[in-house]
Structure 1
Amino acid sequence: MSTTPLHELKAELNHQHRQITAMMQAVRTSGGPLRVEAFEQFRAFLAAHEAAEQTCMHGVARAESSQDLTVVSDRVAEEVDAADALAHLESLDLESPEFSDGFASLSEAIRAHAEAEEYRELPAYHGVVSDEEVRVMVDRMRRVPHLAEDSDGSLTFAQNLDRARHELG
């Protein structure tokens, strides 16, 4: 049985969501310079991941979907909330209880967001988005690790997001 482009997209999305979960765990369980490094890697990867979703997945879904668009609108609103939470976390001492509590809340929101993408948004693409459009999505999603690796650790989430959007076109 051959793999369809939509299955490839789901596999790539699942893989990246697992990477994000592992990165969040590294931030939560490390301290000192290791926490700073883990947070910078997480922030860069999440920004590249969200930029890829925003530039290819959400836009195509909005343009192509004849279904209720609240599935996509809800994901976009969650991404805005996560960006706001990250901006606040970036202003805190990474060793502070406020950072730990805020990061725990953000982690749970990201987990719920990922689940909704996988089980609500992606199924809405079936029969609505062409295989060629899905292949473009897969290609862009596969660029995420490279975009994250090329990030300067001093960039904020918003700066990383803008840089990744620019790179993705």
Structure 2
Amino acid sequence: MSAHPTPGQTSEHNDVVFLLEEQHQTIRLLLAKVLDETGTERRESFRDLMQRLIVHETTEEEIVHPYARHTIVNGEQLVADRLLEEESLKQALLHLELLDPDSPEFVDAFEQLRQEVLAHDDAEEAREFAPLKERGDPAELQALAQAVRAAAALAPMHPRPGLTSAKDNILAGPATAAVYDRARDAIRKIVDEL
């Protein structure tokens, strides 16, 4: 019996695909939770969702997508398609961040974001993750999982302290953008150390 798994036989819990799909599940639960709440609870759930999406998408952009580009068939195009979707999600988050979470405009915009996130996750799982699982080197998929975990642990999970209102965020720059920047910096540091 081989000491190392062959492609398609990675230890599931150490595999980056399993980890990312697990993150997708958490995001799906948070997407439902936001609209089930109101007031402060909705604001906090949205902030939690926003931060998790930011860290998740940034780790994919910096760690997983580069590997997928050269590992899966048509990787360049598949990653380009996901990056377009991710850019749309970022813009939607920036817009939502400035709205009153209890306003009808927020609810409508959030529902659109929810549909986009669900479609993006489904496309990613079918077109990028499944081929990665099939074609990726097990040791490399495990190393990517370690990098994603390390980056998520180091990436800032909170917007700028003291900026709780839309007005403050406009004056200081959107918190979403700041979190993306800090997450990307932390993740790039991890990638450089690999």
* TM-score (norm. length: structure 1): 0.86
Secondary structure, counterpart of 2:100 in structure 1: coil
| Alpha-carbon distance, 1:159 to partner | 1.5
Match of 2:177 in 1: 158
| Alpha-carbon distance, 1:62 to partner | 2.2
* Distance (whole Å) between structure 2 residues aligned to residue 19 and residue 148 of structure 1: 18
2:156–2:182 Cα contact (<8 Å) kept: no
Equivalent residue runs for 1:121-160 within 5 Å: 121-125=128-132, 129-143=136-150, 146-147=153-154, 150-152=157-159, 154=163, 156-160=175-179
Seen in structure 2, the aligned counterparts of structure 1 residues 110 and 144 have a Cα distance that, compared at 3 Å, is: farther
Indicate the larger mover: 147-156 or 41-50: 147-156
* Distance (whole Å) between structure 2 residues aligned to residue 10 and residue 4 of structure 1: 10
1:6–1:131 Cα contact (<8 Å) kept: no
Q: Percent identity?
A: 32
Give the number of the structure whose alpha-carbon radius of gyration is greater: 2
* Distance (whole Å) between structure 2 residues aligned to residue 142 and residue 47 of structure 1: 14
Match of 2:187 in 1: 168
* Distance (whole Å) between structure 2 residues aligned to residue 15 and residue 52 of structure 1: 14
Q: Which amino acid aligns with 1:105?
A: Q
The answer as to 2:102 corresponding to 1:83 is no
- Which of structures 1 and 2 has the larger relative contact order (alpha carbons within 8 angstroms, sep 6+)? 1
| Alpha-carbon distance, 1:13 to partner | 1.3
Residues 27-61 of structure 1 show CA distances to partners (whole Å, capped at 9, x for unaligned) of 11111111111111111111010111011111222
The answer as to 2:4 corresponding to 1:4 is no
1:44–1:151 Cα contact (<8 Å) kept: yes
Equivalent residue runs for 1:96-115 within 5 Å: 96-115=103-122
Equivalent residue runs for 1:42-81 within 5 Å: 42-65=49-72, 67=74, 69-81=76-88
Q: CA RMSD in A?
A: 2.5
Unmatched segments (≥5 aa) in structure 2: 164-173, 189-194
